Structure 1
């Protein structure tokens, strides 16, 4: 089992998807710690319902980012977690933190990176008028929403979408691709080659090679 820490700031629905797959036996991780910078984050309640250890570290209790990052690292070290999964953690980790855990921090972002970085990815995509949006699981580096991409999924976006409606469609896929990415890491199948990642012992089904990609609006007959 891969020992992990999960950082949350809000509802923790991606944490729940990780817990569910773990309890089903599909995801081989051991959640050693669920940490939040917000005492009222519902993700903490989700963790407690499953008997998982929780820690609250309000960032306002620390004089600067470095002091807060040092406190985060102490908690991760104490939990003996090998990988940190950011699941809606609304704090940017500093360069010292990231460099100390190079390729051991994973994040999920509700857009198809490198488009629509930042905390309003769903709304920004809807406002821009894209016809496809989606989610990205990536490794964390010193730049925001920038590290090597592990897996992406696309959903259709419609003219009457706002951030909420598009976000719900995206979230359903987040709950599938995040546990999958963590399982690849847990089974040591994820290999990093510069900005690219490769999944070892993975065969692309023939159907995936020949089936048309998602197109929205749909192509009409004759095209």
Structure 2
């Protein structure tokens, strides 16, 4: 059974989808802990499902490296097989990435390498493209530059707003994330080491 830690910053909609999938007896992975970089609303999902959680507040640390060291200490208590960044809105320090890679994966609301960064949906709309997408990647030291594990296109409609487009991307992101975690757990999907 693959053990999974999930790190969040916000409402945790991808986390909830993963928790619901993992509740099924035939799902080959279990969420063992949820962490956050703030008092995130999504921690309520962990509580509802009886999953332990921890918080490593970003603002309480003098540097990204110091925050990453404390995050690593918390994760090492649980020794997860896989760490999922699920809306964690912080760049991990290189030392943390090196420690866990390639067992670190992330979702992104764009068809990478198109529109990396924190505003993938907004950037796609600003570019006037007819389609964008969702991706699941291995985390590396770059910004959304790691090896792609799964992705799918999502059309951009003429009347789309950032909100409406993001709401159509989210279900695709969730499905891809669940499929990737299942594939890693069964051995059908290999984690590509970061170069």
- TM superposition score category, shorter chain reference: over 0.9
CA contact (8 A) 2:154 2:169 kept: yes
In structure 2, relative to structure 1, the CA distance for the partners of 1:194 and 1:29 (3 Å cut) is closer
Deviation digits for residues 133-183 of structure 1 (CA, Å, limit 9, x no counterpart): 110000001111011001001111012212111001100111111010011
| 1:137 equivalent in alignment to 2:153 | no
Which has the greater radius of gyration? 1
Give the whole-Å Cα distance in 2 for the aligned partners of 1:175 and 1:101. 23
**Partner of residue 215, structure 1:** none
- 1:44-63 → structure 2 map (5 Å cutoff): 44-63=43-62
Stretches of structure 2 lacking an aligned partner (at least 5 in a row): none
**Partner of residue 166, structure 2:** 167
The Cα RMSD (Å) is 1.5
Shift of 1:104: 0.4
**Partner of residue 213, structure 1:** none
| TM-score with structure 2 setting the length | 0.95
Stretches of structure 1 lacking an aligned partner (at least 5 in a row): 197-223
Give the whole-Å Cα distance in 2 for the aligned partners of 1:50 and 1:195. 33
Shift of 1:26: 4.7
Shift of 1:195: 7.6
**Partner of residue 25, structure 1:** 25
Deviation digits for residues 9-58 of structure 1 (CA, Å, limit 9, x no counterpart): 0010000110111112353212121001111x121001100100010111
Per the alignment, in what secondary structure is the counterpart of residue 42 of structure 1?
A: coil
- 1:24-103 → structure 2 map (5 Å cutoff): 24-39=24-39, 41-103=40-102
Give the whole-Å Cα distance in 2 for the aligned partners of 1:175 and 1:84. 16
CA contact (8 A) 2:138 2:194 kept: no
CA contact (8 A) 1:123 1:164 kept: no
**Partner of residue 118, structure 1:** 117
CA contact (8 A) 1:136 1:149 kept: yes
- Which range moves more in the overlay, 87-96 or 158-167? 158-167
In structure 2, relative to structure 1, the CA distance for the partners of 1:194 and 1:102 (3 Å cut) is closer
